[in-house]
Structure 1
Amino acid sequence: MGKTLITNVVMLANAGHKPLDTRIYYKEARSLVQSGYKVSIIIPHHEDFVNEGVAILSVPLPRKGWEQLVKCPWRIFKKAMKQPKDAVFHLHDSELLMVGIALKVFNRKVIYDAHEDTPLQISYQHWIPWIVKKPYTWFYRILEKIAGWWFDAIIVAEPVIAKYFPSRKVTLIRNFPISESFREIKNSQSSSLVYVGLLSKPRGLVEMLEAHRIASEKIPIEFILGGKFAPASLEKELLAKYRVNYRAWLPYNEMIATVFSSTVGIIVPHPIERYKTNYPVKLFEYMAAGKPVIASREGESAAFVIEAEAGILVDPLNVNEIAEAITRLISFPDEAKVMGARGRKLIFEKYNWEKESEKLIGLYRSL
């Protein structure tokens, strides 16, 4: 007998994601629907709905932090067990590894999509008491070992994550931009700097704000910030001190419009291990929009900026160097446009979701 043709895909995501998450919904789910699969996403949300052929199946949102780790996975598992037995269950959170293991007990096909280096992430979580941090890290290492041995496939978003899993099970599917979303060129109307993403100190927020303040003393530059402050107390602390155009968390299409409306994209996380090996999707989205970038010279992502000569690399902890880069790109718009065009060309020709999605579809067809 030949292989049973898989037509149902059930994605599982925890409360850290929104139903229309960029990677889960806009990239993977829509690509699978376009290839003929029936796709649903089980996720904590306040209602069920269908969007572009993708069914969002909600479970109750957590009311307290611990519920995200305990109650939500249990609710997601119960709903998953009601889905077709021949579906592929595609996990998007390390918090749901126990759900995946339970599904394997019931002989379901399971894929784990590892977006981040979970053990390394845990080591940087200041809210976790130090006395439990090491056991917590090892607990997830054990879960990942079981996943690597038992699950049907492992997807990793970055090469560094692959080391935790058997190479025969791993498919690298990088989080590059959907080039079609950036097809229409919309030129900016003013001199502005943009950062969209998580707004935290480790991601260089203070350095970006201070560098913008220094650069603004020489030439007028608007700084557009889009994202969520972490911790939330940073919003009051920093917005009272620095002058910015704060847009809060932006839905996908609004994020793209905001990047297009800006002149220069910036992303300068601190040079800690988790960011040195990280592929920041916002860097590639700036490039896809044809924006010159100011990025950290530390870490693997710098190679993409160098390859295209798409911007200026800086010491992410040196505010004066960052300020000089801002001033240069705003003061010399012709040079900046050439850099932006080179970056855009590289994304459209080489580093885009359309190419990565071929690996996703190929993986599903192999199961």
Structure 2
Amino acid sequence: MARIAHLSSAHPRFDTRIFVKQCRSLASHGHEVALVVADGLGEARCDGIRIVDVGRPSGRRERMLRTTGRVCRAALALDADVYQLHDPELIPVGLRLALAGRRVVFDAHEDVPSQLLDKPYLSPRSARVVSRAYAALERLALRRFDGVLAATPLIRERLAAFNPLTVDINNFPRAEEFTQAPDKAADAGVRNSFCYVGSISAIRGVRELVAACALLRTPARLALAGGFAETELETQVRRLPGWNRVDALGHLDRSGVAGVMERAFAGLVTLLPTASYREALPVKMFEYMAAGIPVIASDFPLWREIVEGSRCGLCVDPHDPAAIAAAIDHLASHPGLAREMGANGRRAVLEHYNWECEADKLIAFYADLLAPRPTRRRFSGKGAFPARSMGSTD
């Protein structure tokens, strides 16, 4: 068994992909796992995982310039067998660790070069320059790292050219989190809400979604769970005519998310067609399926293949509030169809789109990574995991 340190300067400590899925899965298979974060909540131990906090930065600039250095120092102090990086800004940290003879894994949550092209704070010209620069750094680094995890098959295909040990670990849901049985799925006669769960931003289609609420013919209401990316955007959206049909729930924990889905007759994931979203596998879509409710999704070819292939929902033009409203009304008015689609989605998750299958791939990846190999130069620093740091709470 190995000592594995997960490093993040941007994600919260209980991030679903990092802590809930990967850290817990690795710990349950006997590995000693630590997680370095920068959220300002202090050190802790949870589920046998040691959480090391390097302090919350005051803004993006401090996070990029100083927090990454603190993460690096904390990582070296842990003296782990493997370091898994979760943020693009930590690539220089990974290079330093690799030069010190450490095993380093990069977890590509997003297709960053494509994502950068859609950043609203970059001009089109600047976005192209930054995207190319990041892609060059990525190529350089991944050739020197020991392995790569990718959040989608498309990202895996792109990154496998730089590192032969590249595996896709998809963000599929943990089926046990969503215990709703298919035969109890959406019934418009009982349920009067549809939901959106996740980060709320313009690029994720919140304006179009709220505008669709104003066009509904049924009395359905939107349960909006998550935080707005920008205060100004929230102010603008609250002024839209459809806002009187919205129940804003704010950030929810995992049980709260499951509760919202249990009370909904459909779940929406109508993200706008950016280069990064067209080929993404949004975890919320699969969580709706796991909860046994039909999906209303953007009509992207990949998403249409999943939704129509599983017969678990409807695909719409995310730019068209009228089309979104028509899909909501259709499911609200046809509870039998909603039940059937919800059952189909639940079945697809249980058979294929679930974290349990991905966890097996993760464990196999680490077994391959940790297989005996020629001796490499090791960093001589001290600071191993404290003997009591990886167990239960004091």
**TM-score under structure 1 normalisation?**
0.94
Q: In 2, distance between residues paired with 1:247 and 1:228?
A: 9
Tell me if structure 1 keeps the 8 A contact 2:22–2:359: yes
Q: Which has the higher contact order (CA 8 A, sep 6+)?
A: 2
User: What is the aligned partner in structure 2 of residue 333 from structure 1?
Assistant: 335
Q: In 1, distance between residues paired with 2:128 and 2:297?
A: 32
Q: In 1, distance between residues paired with 2:272 and 2:301?
A: 10
The alignment partner of 2:328 has SS state of helix
User: What is the aligned partner in structure 2 of residue 35 from structure 1?
Assistant: 29
Shift of residue 296, structure 1, vs aligned partner:
1.4
Q: In 1, distance between residues paired with 2:180 and 2:312?
A: 19
User: What is the aligned partner in structure 2 of residue 221 from structure 1?
Assistant: 220
Aligned-pair Cα RMSD in Å: 1.6
Shift of residue 187, structure 1, vs aligned partner:
5.9
Bigger Cα displacement from structure 2, 339-348 vs 307-316: 307-316
The alignment partner of 1:70 has SS state of helix
User: What is the aligned partner in structure 1 of residue 297 from structure 2?
Assistant: 295
Q: In 2, distance between residues paired with 1:83 and 1:73?
A: 15
Tell me if structure 2 keeps the 8 A contact 1:111–1:151: yes
User: What is the aligned partner in structure 2 of residue 276 from structure 1?
Assistant: 278
Q: In 2, distance between residues paired with 1:30 and 1:305?
A: 29
- Partner residue of 2:12 out of 8, 18, 22: 18
Q: In 1, distance between residues paired with 2:236 and 2:360?
A: 45
Tell me if structure 2 keeps the 8 A contact 1:187–1:261: no
Change (3 A) 1:131 1:306: closer
**TM-score under structure 2 normalisation?**
0.87
Indicate yes or no: 2:108 matched with 1:108: no
Tell me if structure 1 keeps the 8 A contact 2:38–2:54: yes
User: What is the aligned partner in structure 2 of residue 154 from structure 1?
Assistant: 148
1:317-356 deviation line (CA, Å, top 9, x unaligned): 1221111110010011111011100000000111100001
Q: In 2, distance between residues paired with 1:205 and 1:98?
A: 35
Shift of residue 131, structure 1, vs aligned partner:
5.6
Shift of residue 148, structure 1, vs aligned partner:
2.1
User: What is the aligned partner in structure 2 of residue 178 from structure 1?
Assistant: 174
Tell me if structure 2 keeps the 8 A contact 1:144–1:165: no
Tell me if structure 2 keeps the 8 A contact 1:266–1:294: yes
Read off the aligned partner of 1:144 and give its amino acid letter: E
Shift of residue 132, structure 1, vs aligned partner:
4.0
The alignment partner of 1:214 has SS state of coil
Bigger Cα displacement from structure 2, 125-134 vs 341-350: 125-134
Shift of residue 128, structure 1, vs aligned partner:
3.0
User: What is the aligned partner in structure 1 of residue 204 from structure 2?
Assistant: 203
Shift of residue 190, structure 1, vs aligned partner:
2.5
Tell me if structure 1 keeps the 8 A contact 2:180–2:262: no
Shift of residue 240, structure 1, vs aligned partner:
3.4
Shift of residue 164, structure 1, vs aligned partner:
3.2
Indicate yes or no: 2:130 matched with 1:136: yes
Q: In 2, distance between residues paired with 1:133 and 1:324?
A: 36
Indicate yes or no: 2:159 matched with 1:164: yes
Bigger Cα displacement from structure 2, 277-286 vs 128-137: 128-137
User: What is the aligned partner in structure 2 of residue 3 from structure 1?
Assistant: none
Change (3 A) 1:344 1:187: closer
1:187-240 deviation line (CA, Å, top 9, x unaligned): 67521010011211211111111112211xx22111110112122211122123
User: What is the aligned partner in structure 1 of residue 234 from structure 2?
Assistant: 235
The alignment partner of 2:336 has SS state of helix
Shift of residue 133, structure 1, vs aligned partner:
3.1
Change (3 A) 1:88 1:119: same
Q: In 2, distance between residues paired with 1:37 and 1:259?
A: 33
Identity %: 33
Indicate yes or no: 2:70 matched with 1:75: yes
Q: In 2, distance between residues paired with 1:128 and 1:69?
A: 17
Bigger Cα displacement from structure 2, 244-253 vs 27-36: 244-253
1:276-308 deviation line (CA, Å, top 9, x unaligned): 111111000000000011111224122111111
Change (3 A) 1:129 1:72: farther
Give the number of equivalent residue pairs: 358
Shift of residue 84, structure 1, vs aligned partner:
2.1
Read off the aligned partner of 1:176 and give its amino acid letter: F
Indicate yes or no: 2:74 matched with 1:84: no
Q: In 1, distance between residues paired with 2:339 and 2:208?
A: 25
Q: In 2, distance between residues paired with 1:48 and 1:266?
A: 36
Indicate yes or no: 2:373 matched with 1:361: no
Tell me if structure 2 keeps the 8 A contact 1:178–1:354: yes
Indicate yes or no: 2:193 matched with 1:192: yes
Q: Structure 1: give runs of 5+ residues left out of the alignment.
A: 1-5
Q: In 2, distance between residues paired with 1:156 and 1:334?
A: 38
Tell me if structure 1 keeps the 8 A contact 2:107–2:149: yes
Shift of residue 130, structure 1, vs aligned partner:
5.1
The alignment partner of 2:215 has SS state of helix
Shift of residue 136, structure 1, vs aligned partner:
2.3
1:10-46 deviation line (CA, Å, top 9, x unaligned): 000122x110000001110000011111111101022
The alignment partner of 1:357 has SS state of helix
Q: In 2, distance between residues paired with 1:64 and 1:270?
A: 27
Q: Structure 2: give runs of 5+ residues left out of the alignment.
A: 370-394
Shift of residue 76, structure 1, vs aligned partner:
0.1
Tell me if structure 2 keeps the 8 A contact 1:148–1:169: no
The alignment partner of 1:134 has SS state of helix
